[in-house]
Amino acid sequence: MAYQDKIDAGYMRNKTYCYRDSNGEEQISNTIRITPKGLVKLAQLMPGAIQPPAVHLAPEGTAPAPFAPAPEPAS
């Protein structure tokens, strides 16, 4: 589970979902996700780590920056 202060800061989110196992019993599970803001924070905390070039934070209330277009294939 993600700590609540990390969720409140926007670094992580917790997704809870229900499913039926092979015995037909209903189960509950969690999936923890690290947000783009969380990836940037991790990159700042671990300066030796390689930061993927596609991780950019968009200003609040705007759409995220699109990925760079793929280069044209060589003929």
pLDDT tens digits, 21-43: 999 999 999 999 999 999 888 88
Q: Is residue 24 part of a domain?
A: yes
What pLDDT, on the 0 to 100 scale, is given for residue 75?
61
Q: Is residue 31 part of a domain?
A: yes
Q: Is residue 27 part of a domain?
A: yes
Q: Is residue 54 part of a domain?
A: no
Q: Is residue 65 part of a domain?
A: no
The arithmetic mean of pLDDT across residues 7-23, rounded, is: 92
Residues sharing a CB contact under 8 Å with residue 40, sequence separation 6 or more, in sequence order: 51, 55, 57
Higher pLDDT, 3 or 71: 3
What pLDDT, on the 0 to 100 scale, is given for residue 43?
84
Higher pLDDT, 73 or 63: 73
Work out how many domains the chain is built from and give that number: 1
| Domain span at 26 | 4-42
**Alpha carbon distance 21, 15 (integer Å):** 18
CB 58 within 8 A of CB 64: yes
> What 8-state DSSP symbol labels residue 1?
-
